[in-house]
Amino acid sequence: MKFKTFAAFVGPSVFLMFLFIAAPLVSVFVGSFQLTQPVLDQIEEETCTPGFLAQTCTTTMVTRPALDEYGHIVTTTEWVGWLNYQRVLNPEAAWAAISSFDWGALMQINFWSALRFTLMFTLVTLPLVIGVGLAIALAVNNAAKSIRGPVIFVSLLPFIITPVIGALSIRWLFIGDGILTTALEHWLNRDIAMFAQAWTIELMMLFFRVWHVAPFAFVIFYAGLQTVNQDTLESAIIDGANRWDRLRYVIVPHLMPLIIFIALIHLMDTYRVFEEIVGFTSQAHVISLQWLTYDFLQPDDAGNRAFGRASASAMLTMVGIVVLLIPLLRRTWRDHKGGSY
């Protein structure tokens, strides 16, 4: 292929990746070492009591953000090094809590509380998504051809629904006098408050993520099952291998590249969990790293946003994703090198 033809095909994609991925990433990285603050002015403010003859006026000095000619707040940006990371991580308080084995004190720090939930959410849902997706794929693959179409359609419905809408739907089933909450209260003969404690909210979030993402794994595995060597399966049956042995020694090794692919996609997506926090409104009990970054960007009472801490939180989230992906990427690289000889 000529270079001009190659550039014509690849050029637009490279440009868009630089514009929407590389440039914002560099901007966030630089911003994590900067501190942006409004310029404050000391002005005199006169306050008068009601009345005419007995009116009393007092003058006080108040602090107000400086405004430019367009009415926008004037800000200054300075390099602060690792200060934003220190404010996010709070290493002194975290180390003191770890040294004294005070788990509750550690969870009082927003970043470590968000990291605990994000890691738990990611690592617990990963095997469940792969297991449920593979189970559905095997069931559909062994089902009669006349019912495969409807079963595939029903299985894909959770994946089609928008994540926030799905999370809100499950929340409405359990919150207050929701249908499922009312049924559980009638069955157990006791009052149930699913949103009054963190662990029940986390269980619903785990259930929702598996319910929503397992169809994606199912589609990938079902496509992979169509390429399994039937001669190998028949040889295994002749040798006396049962269903479990065929699954363990024939099907799973054949699907291993797809398992790694699903794990990569799931880890990158789930470590940035955000929709569940919004859909279940769990901020008072459970937060994630992605929601923490969003919270830093919310304006305070004075209208200021913590861009530096938000950038530091975003970079720490990216570091966490890379750390989680390293084992899978190394496995993929070894498989690639082994298959290239």
Which amino acid would we find at residue 335? D
What pLDDT is recorded for position 216?
Answer: 93
- Percent of the chain scored above 90 by pLDDT? 44
CATH number of 111-339: 1.10.3720.10
Q: What is the Cα gyration radius of the chain?
A: 28
> What mean pLDDT do residues 189-198 have?
83
> What mean pLDDT do residues 301-318 have?
87
What is the reported pTM?
Answer: 0.84
Contact indicator for 199, 124 with CB cutoff of 8 Å: no
Which amino acid would we find at residue 209? R
- Number of residues written out for the chain: 341
What pLDDT is recorded for position 137?
Answer: 93
Of 63-67, 272-276, 331-335, the one with minimum mean pLDDT is 63-67
What pLDDT is recorded for position 90?
Answer: 93
For the cut 50, the answer to whether the pLDDT of residue 11 exceeds it is: yes
Contact indicator for 74, 36 with CB cutoff of 8 Å: no
> What mean pLDDT do residues 167-174 have?
86
Contact indicator for 37, 76 with CB cutoff of 8 Å: yes
> What mean pLDDT do residues 166-172 have?
86
> What mean pLDDT do residues 68-83 have?
82
Q: Which of 23-27, 46-50, 58-62, 64-68 has the highest mean pLDDT?
A: 23-27
- Ordered by start, the domain boundaries in the chain are 111-339
**Reported confidence tier of residue 338, pLDDT bands at 50, 70, 90:** low
What pLDDT is recorded for position 53?
Answer: 67
What pLDDT is recorded for position 64?
Answer: 74
For the cut 80, the answer to whether the pLDDT of residue 201 exceeds it is: yes
Contact indicator for 297, 307 with CB cutoff of 8 Å: yes
Which amino acid would we find at residue 255? L
Which residues, in sequence order, are CB contacts of 144 under 8 Å at separation 6+? none
For the cut 60, the answer to whether the pLDDT of residue 341 exceeds it is: no
Of 74-88, 99-113, 184-198, 256-270, the one with minimum mean pLDDT is 184-198
What pLDDT is recorded for position 44?
Answer: 78
Nearest-angstrom CA–CA distance, 188 and 180: 12
CA distances from 67 to 1, 62, 73, 169, 316 (A): 57, 15, 5, 45, 34
Of 41-45, 151-155, 177-181, 228-232, the one with minimum mean pLDDT is 41-45
First to last CA, the chain: 26
Contact indicator for 243, 135 with CB cutoff of 8 Å: no
Contact indicator for 73, 302 with CB cutoff of 8 Å: no
What pLDDT is recorded for position 223?
Answer: 92
For the cut 90, the answer to whether the pLDDT of residue 331 exceeds it is: no
Q: At what angle do helices 110-142 and 252-270 cross, to 10 degrees?
A: 150
CA distances from 213 to 203, 217, 257, 335 (A): 16, 7, 18, 26
- Percent of the chain scored above 70 by pLDDT? 96
Q: In terms of pLDDT, which residue wins out, 268 or 65? A: 268
What pLDDT is recorded for position 222?
Answer: 93
> What mean pLDDT do residues 282-304 have?
86
- Work out the mean pLDDT of the chain and round it to a whole number: 87
What pLDDT is recorded for position 293?
Answer: 93
> What mean pLDDT do residues 23-34 have?
92
Question: What CA dihedral angle connects 252, 253, 258 and 264, to 10 degrees?
Answer: 100
pLDDT digits (tens, 9 = 90+) for 103-116: 999 999 999 999 99
Helix, strand and coil content of the chain, in percent to the nearest 5, comes to 70, 10, 25
What pLDDT is recorded for position 178?
Answer: 80
Structure tokens at 49: 């009591």
